[in-house]
Amino acid sequence: MTRGALRRYVPSLVLFGALLLIWQVVPPLLRIREYLLPGPVAVVRAALNFSIPWHAHIWVTTLEILGGFALAGAGGVALGVAIAWSGTAARALVPFLVVVNTLPKVAVAPLFLLWLGYGVVPNMLIAALIGFFPVVINTAVGLTQIDEELLDLGRVFGAPKWKVFVKIRLPNALPYVLSALKITATAAVVGAIVGEFVASQAGLGMVIVNAQTNLNTPVAFAALAWISVIGLGLYGAVGLAARAWAPWADTP
Amino acid sequence: MIVLDGVGMTYRAASGPVEALRSISFRVDGGELVALVGPSGCGKSTLLRIIAGLRPATTGRVAVGGHAVTGPVPAVGMVFQAPILLKWRRIVENVLLPAELAGLDPGAFRGRALELLRLVGLGDFADRLPRELSGGMQQRAALCRALLLDPPLLLMDEPFGALDAMTRDELNLELLRVWGEGSRTRKTIVFVTHSIVEAVFLADRVVVLTPRPGRVAELVPVPLPRPRTVETRASPAFGALALQIHLLLARSA
Ligand SMILES: Nc1ncnc2c1ncn2[C@@H]1O[C@H](COP(=O)(O)OP(=O)(O)O)[C@@H](O)[C@H]1O
Ligand SMILES: [Mg+2]
C-alpha cells in the first residue's frame, strides 16, 4: 500500500480508535455491566480465546457465505442473461422473480430447514436467496442499457447476435454485475447468519444465539467481530476484483 | 453506387412525429467523393444511417451497389459522429474490432491496425484505453477502425469535427490518399461535414441540404483539379465555390 492510500484511511482509523477508546472507558463510568455491554478489551479477549472452537465456527459460516455468494452470483448472472437475451424469458421470469424477492427470506428459512435438515446447505440457500436479486437486475440492465450506437457498430460490421453479445453487451455489463456483487457480498453474510439463527449446529450465528442464552455477551460481540472480518474480507475481495477486471468503469 | 430516390424519414418521437428528411434524391457514383453539408439537425446523420441500412427510410428507395437496401449494407466502413469506442478495449483492440466481428483472425490485421494508427498520429497510443485519449484522438482511432478492412464504401459523419484546424487539414490530405486520389481504384465516400471549406476541399460534388426537414437545396459540382494540395484552398475557384455554398445555405436558412 502506498503512502497516499494509507493517508486516505487515516481519518477513519482515527475515528475507529476514538470510538474504541470511548467504548472502553465510558460504560464502566456509567456502571454499565459487562453482560450488557462488554468493552473492546473483553471482546478481543473472547475473540482470541481458543477454548471456544472459533476456527470451526468461522469455517462453517465462511462456507455458507461463500457458497451463498457463489450461488447468488452464478444464478443471478444466468437469470439476468436470460432476461436480456429473450423478451419471452423476461416476461416469464420477471414477475416470478419479483414475487420471490418480496418474500421475507427470514420467514422462508424455517421451511428450508424443514426440507433440507440442519447443515450448511440450507443456510447457503438462504444466503443466495437474499443476495441474488440485485445481480439479476444489474446483469439485465448492464446487458440492455447500452448505447444504441454501440449496437449499430455491431450491425455495420455484420456481426451475428451472439458475437455482439459476447464482445459488446457482456463487457458492458461487467461493471454493473460487479457492483451488484458488492451488495450480494453483504447480503450473503446476513443470509448465512439468519439461517444460523433459525437453527444450526455450528457457525458464528449459532455462537451468538448460545452466548445470548448464557448472557455471555463478550462472546456474542466476539462472534460479531469475526462476522464483520469475514464480511469485510469478501467485500474487499469483490472490490479488488472489480478494479482488476473492470478498470475502465468509473465506479470506485 | 448509391441511389437515393425520394427518401423521406419521419421519427416517431414521444412528443410527436419529427420529419427529419423529405424527398431526397441523388446518386453517388462508384469512386466518387461526395460531401454532405447542411445546418445542424437537418438530417445528415439520419441520411447516412439510412444509406448504411441501419434505419429504414419512411418513404422512398435506397440502393447501394445495385441492391435495394433492406438491412445493414455489407462491406461499409462507417465513422459515426461520436467515436463510440469500446471503453474496455485498448485502442488497437478497438481498431481490430471489425475483424473480430466479421469472424476474421484479428492477429492477421494487427500490423495494419498499428500502421493506420501511426498514419493518424496515434502510434504511441495503441495500448491505451480510450478514456486516456482526447475526443479528437478518439475520433481518429474510430477512423482507423472504419478503414481496417479496407472497405470500398466509406460513410463518414463529421469525422474531423472534434479536431483542431491543423490536424483536420492534415487528415483531410490523408483521407484523400486513403480514398485513392492518385490511383484509378478509388473508394466511394460520403462525407458529412459542417465545414464548407472541408467539403469543397475534399469533394467531387457537394450536396447542400436545407434546414429540417432536410431536402436537397443544390448539388454543387467541384471541378477543382486533383490531386488537391494546400494551395488548392488559396485558388480563386475554391473561394468562389465556398461562397456559392455559403450563399445557398444562408438562403435556405
Ligand atoms: N432517434 C431519434 N428520435 C427522434 N428524433 C430524432 C432521432 N434522431 C434524430 N432525430 C431528429 O431528427 C433530426 C435530424 O437529426 P440528425 O440526422 O442527427 O441531424 P444532423 O446530423 O444533420 O445534425 C433532428 O431534429 C433530430 O432531433
Ligand atoms: Mg449529425
Does residue A240 have a pLDDT over 80?
yes
Integer CA distances (angstroms), B161 to B139, B165, B172, B175, B192, in order:
9, 9, 12, 14, 10
Q: For the segment B235-253, what is each residue's pLDDT rounded down to a tens digit?
A: 999 999 999 999 999 998 7
Contact at 8 Å (CB) between B163 and B136? yes
A244 touching chain B per CB within 8 A: no
CB burial readout B80-118, b (16+ within 10 A) else e: bbbbbbbbbbbbbbbbbbbbbbbeeebeebbebbbebbe
- Look at residues B167, B149, B146 and name the one whose alpha carbon lies nearest to residue B157: B146
Q: What 3-state DSSP class applies to A1? A: coil
Identity of the amino acid at B52: A
Task: Report the residue from B80, B129, B131 with minimal CB separation from A149.
Answer: B80
Domain B2-75+152-252, CATH homologous superfamily name and number: P-loop containing nucleotide triphosphate hydrolases (3.40.50.300)
Question: Alpha helix locations (H) across B180-217?
Answer: 196-202
Kindly give the pairing relationship between strand B76-79 and strand B153-157. parallel
Q: Which three cell numbers stand for residue B106?
A: 484479428
- Which of A244, A246, A241 lies closest to A176 in space, CA to CA? A246
In words, the CATH class of domain A54-249 is mainly alpha
Q: Which amino acid is at A150?
A: L
Q: In DSSP terms, which residues pair with B216 in a beta bridge?
A: B209
Residue A218, pLDDT score: 92
Nearest CB among A164, A174, A248 relative to B131 is that of: A248
Closest CA to A68 of A176, A196, A173: A196
Residue nearest to atom 24 of ligand 1 (CA): B41
Distance B55 CA to ligand 2 centre (A): 14
Q: What percent of chain A has pLDDT over 70?
A: 98
Amino acid at B215: R
Sketch the domain layout of chain B as residue ranges.
2-75+152-252, 86-151
pLDDT average, residue stretch B54-83:
94
A203 torsion bin: left (phi>0), alpha (psi -120 to 50), beta (else): left
Span B136-155, pLDDT tens digits: 899 999 999 999 999 999 99
For residues A67-89, give the mean pLDDT: 94
Please indicate if any CB of chain B lies within 8 Å of the CB of A53: no
Burial class (CB in 10 A: 0-12, 13-18, 19+), A134: buried
| Beta strand pairing call for B216-221 and B205-209 | antiparallel
pLDDT by residue (tens digit) across A107-153?
888 888 888 888 899 999 999 999 999 999 999 999 998 888 889 99
Average pLDDT over residues A25-54: 90
Given this model, what pLDDT does residue A20 score? 92
Residues of chain B contacting residue A154, judged by C-beta atoms under 8 Å apart: 101
Q: Averaged over B170-196, what is the pLDDT?
A: 92
Q: What are phi and psi of B190, to 5 degrees?
A: -110, 120
B183 has a pLDDT exceeding 70? yes
| pLDDT (mean) for B90-113 | 95
What is the reported pLDDT for A113? 83
For A197, which DSSP code? H
pLDDT tier for residue B99 given thresholds of 50, 70 and 90: very high
Q: Measuring CA to CA, how many Å separate A19 from each of A12, A40, A47, A220, B237?
A: 10, 10, 19, 19, 81
* Mean pLDDT of all residues belonging to chain A: 91
State the number of CA atoms in the 13 A half-sphere of A1 facing the CB.
7
- What pLDDT score does A1 carry? 56
Residue B72 is given by DSSP the state P
From the CA of B44, how far away is ligand 2's center (Å)?
5
Q: Do B98 and A157 touch (CB under 8 A)?
A: yes
Instruction: List the single best residue of B101, B133, B144, B147 to mutate versus A (max A Cβ within 10 A).
Output: B101
Residues B91, B117: contact at Cβ < 8 Å? yes
Residue among A149, A156, A161, A174 with most chain B CBs within 10 A, to mutate: A156
Residue A252 has pLDDT above 50, yes or no: no
CA-proximal residue: ligand 1, atom 5 (nearest)? B11
